[in-house]
Amino acid sequence: MRFERSLDLLLVHCQGELGHVLVGGAPEIPGATMLDKMNHINTVDDSLRRFVTFEPRANVAMTVNLLVAPSRLDADAGFIVLQADRAHPMSGSNSICVVTALLESGRVAMREPETLVRLDTPAGLILARARCEEGRCLSVSLDNVPCFAEYLDQAVDTPHWGKIKVDVAFGGVYYALVDVDQIGLSIGPSNSRALAEAGIELKRLLSEQIPVKHPTLPGVDEIAYVMFRDREPDGAVRTCTVLPPGRVDRSPCGTGSSANLAVLYARGLVKVGDVRTSRSIIGGEFMAEAIGETEVGGRKAVLPRITGRGYVYGRSELRISDDDPFRVGFALSDTWGPQVDLLK
């Protein structure tokens, strides 16, 4: 079967979190920079995002990464994170998926035992070091953009849990980090639905009570996600990031782990050279290392390195047809959850 117009995707996951990579067929996105392109998708034309992230071509627990030519000369590739609610500037698990897809498909030449890949993202340049063997990526280490704490122990009034404390930090996007015992839950697969609903409720309350605005990235001005955290007996941080409209990240979350590292750094609990383990709700692991210090808009910031692994498990071709009755996509609350209206 031949399609006159189609989109080509590589199917990839990182520690169980789907991060498919759109490698061909996408329209040109206007904008001189990745940030411009992301803001165009979010404010002018979101038809491509909706096409690839909603039913019947997608499901709630996935992301599609739009691969585009880099806008800067020092990058090998550019990409934008497309999710059900909007386009986002950065994601650790999705960066790992993109690097793995680029190398294992031959779009960027693989060099063993290590290949450097420079990614142009709306949040800035990401340097990735991929450990490679026999044509496969065995791990990817990301040198993330500068990350910083915006608020520590910020009090938030909630109708269900009373007054709770949250840390707000930038890890590539803005996160609210919440110690999970404050909402009377633990992080585990059996609590996924309850954690997802609590995270979406907290995100709504935070948008009303805590303003954020990145000092150098116009348009990055919301708390994107709530990440619940807990301490494991071995010292690892157990994480559960909630994404709109109400589902949990299957991976340990690279940008969330970076945001948590920024909080630890701001509190003096982490110094350059220290490494922390982030463990997901299903047991997957990332390593988060503080590799340097800097400043962003007058704020002390840490430079995180996140290490994990992605897996290319297939490919897909999506037909683009003007007579498709569901070209704009749809989402129903039976699978997308009761907060599905957040996507409209």
What are the residue ranges of helices labelled H in 44-178?
47-53, 92-104
Q: Which residues are catalytic?
A: 91, 253
Answer yes or no: do 163 and 135 share one domain.
no
State pLDDT tens for residues 51-84: 999 999 999 999 999 999 999 999 999 999 999 9
Whether residue 193 is found in the same domain as residue 110: no
Same domain assignment for residues 50 and 134: yes
R_g over Cα of the chain: 19
Say yes or no: 268 and 291 in one domain.
yes
297 with 236, same domain: the answer is: yes
pLDDT tens figures, 275-307: 999 999 999 999 999 999 999 999 999 999 999
CA-nearest of 208, 143, 210 to 175 is 210
135 and 158 share one domain: no
pLDDT at position 343 is 86
In terms of domains, do 290 and 184 share one? yes
Does 16 share its domain with 95? yes
pLDDT score at 211: 96
Q: What percent of the chain is predicted at pLDDT more than 90?
A: 96
pLDDT band for position 338 (cuts 50, 70, 90): confident
Residue 78 located in a structural domain: yes
CB neighbour burial string for 75-86, b if at least 16 within 10 angstroms, e if fewer:
bbbbbbbbbbeb
Residue with tokens 């990745």: 34
Question: Interior CA angle at 124 toward 21 and 36, to 5°?
Answer: 75
| Digit-coded pLDDT (tens) for 212-269 | 999 999 999 999 999 999 999 999 999 999 999 999 999 999 999 999 999 999 999 9
Quote the domain boundaries for residue 272: 148-303
Q: Are 157 and 129 in contact (CB under 8 A)?
A: no
Same domain, 189 and 127: no
What confidence score (pLDDT) does residue 84 get?
95
- Spatial separation of the C-alpha atoms in residues 175 and 121, rounded to whole Å: 18
Residue 1 inside a domain? The answer is no
Q: Are residues 225 and 238 in the same domain?
A: yes
Report the chain's terminal Cα–Cα distance, integer Å: 34
Q: Which two tokens stand for residue 101?
A: 């897809």
- Split at pLDDT 50, 70, 90, the class of 98 is very high
In the prediction, which pLDDT does 104 show?
Answer: 98
Whether residues 55 and 166 share a domain: the answer is: no
What CA–CA distances, in Å, run from 62 to 20, 136, 147? Answer: 8, 23, 25
pLDDT of res. 339: 84
Domain containing 339 — which CATH number?
3.10.310.10
- Residues with Cβ within 8 Å of 303's Cβ and at least 6 positions away in sequence, in order, are 143, 144, 146, 147, 290, 291, 292, 293, 294
Instruction: Give the pLDDT confidence score for residue 342 in this predicted structure.
Output: 80
Give domain status of residue 254, yes or no.
Answer: yes
Q: What is the pLDDT of residues 142-152, one digit of tens each?
A: 999 999 999 99
pLDDT, mean of residues 181-193:
97
Per-residue pLDDT tens digits for 122-164: 999 999 999 999 999 999 999 999 999 999 999 999 999 999 9
124 and 263 co-located in one domain = no
Number of domains in the chain: 2
pLDDT at 337: 86
* pLDDT surpasses 90 at 344: no
